[in-house]
Amino acid sequence: MSKDIVFKLFQRIVVVKTTKKWRAEYEPKEERAEAAYVGDATDENQLNKGLSWAGCGREEEPEVKYFDNDGFTLEIGSCPENSCQGSKLSFWMCKITTKDNYSFYTSINSRLLELLLKECTFINGVCQDKVVFVRNKSQLGVVKLNGIQYQQAVSDEYMRTHPKEKRTDYKPGDVVETLRDRYVYVGSTYQYFYIDYNGWYDENMAVNIYFYKKPKETHFFLYWSNFENKYEFYCSVYKRVEAKPKYWVTGNIDVKPLNEYLKEYAENNYHKIEEVVDELKELYSLQFQDNPDNIIDRDKVIEVVKKYYIKGGNRKKIIVNTYEI
């Protein structure tokens, strides 16, 4: 699964307001007159961006302030319809008030604001929970202090700053992550071969089967589907054995035995071809086995492969090449 949101949680923020002269001349509306650039106080590049955005170099210097990122009040302002170039904008102007009643307006990404609206209570446009600033890629947002998204931001920040704590000793059911992806480890078995296409020739098809000299341990995961909003199992006869990847372990959930996932995946195969369910089950049972000392019948593998592709691909003839690796 690719995470659609990866947070960068600020420890301190820098707030750069536009110059008073610039505001008075060009921005009579309050939220524009009090507009500010918000960035990571530890990143000098973001300060420079803020100074450039705020009109630095004109007759008057912008107003620059620093705050701990430990709780602000947010009030929803307006949503700009489009930019001066005519493109649609994906943010809302929001009023931010600090603990000492210093206030400014800044643009909050619409997607991140949507998550905040779903988690917090708002009265007359004012969030009743304290918020803190985050970024998702280049988009500025806020999350509820100590809320669900905040915990995700803390987790993302931990992974970003503790790369040496990635592990490979995870067990079935472990939720394993990188900064961009999240999976659930199901388990491992031994793989005896994999298949590769070699091309189509009219109504015929060529397939390569690569048999491992020694069966190799291969690992399986559940993948998060943003579309289905759930974890899904995926397997392929084209799966090649890869080294067990290093991940951060962030939790554990109940999972079924690997063999059950393989059986279910064959029954609900990706191509939805009912005619090849039996062949796919048999192919998986030959390809993936718990015992690395088994001796598989390679002629049987070739026979099943031919049946699978003739039925599933409407091919008259399957040419099979075999290799040992």
Task: Please compute the mean of the pLDDT values over residues 117-123 and round it to a whole number.
Answer: 96
**Cβ contact 294:186 at 8 Å:** no
Residues 6+ apart with CB under 8 A from 259: none
- Strand ranges inside the chain, DSSP E: 7-9, 12-17, 36-40, 63-68, 73-76, 91-97, 103-109, 122-123, 126-127, 131-136, 139-144, 174-177, 182-201, 204-225, 230-233, 248-252, 288-289, 317-324
Q: Is the confidence at residue 253, as pLDDT, over 60?
A: yes
Instruction: Read off the pTM.
Output: 0.71
What pLDDT does 86 receive? 46
Q: Could you give phi then psi for residue 151, rounded to 5 degrees? A: -65, -35
| pLDDT tens-digit series, residues 131-177 | 999 999 889 999 999 999 999 899 899 888 888 899 999 999 999 99
Question: Higher confidence at residue 24 or residue 34?
Answer: 34
What pLDDT does 84 receive? 47
Confidence of residue 249 (pLDDT cuts 50, 70, 90): very high
Position 281: which residue type? Answer: K
Residue 75 tokens, joined: 């009030």
Task: Please compute the mean of the pLDDT values over residues 274-280 and round it to a whole number.
Answer: 76
What pLDDT does 1 receive? 43
Q: Is the confidence at residue 4, as pLDDT, over 90?
A: no
Q: Is the confidence at residue 200, as pLDDT, over 70?
A: no
Q: Is the confidence at residue 87, as pLDDT, over 60?
A: no
Dihedral of CA 310/314/317/322: which sign?
A: negative
Position 35: which residue type? Answer: A
**Cβ contact 58:9 at 8 Å:** no
- Rounded to whole angstroms, the Cα distance separating 69 from 13 reads 6
Q: Name the average pLDDT for the chain.
A: 85
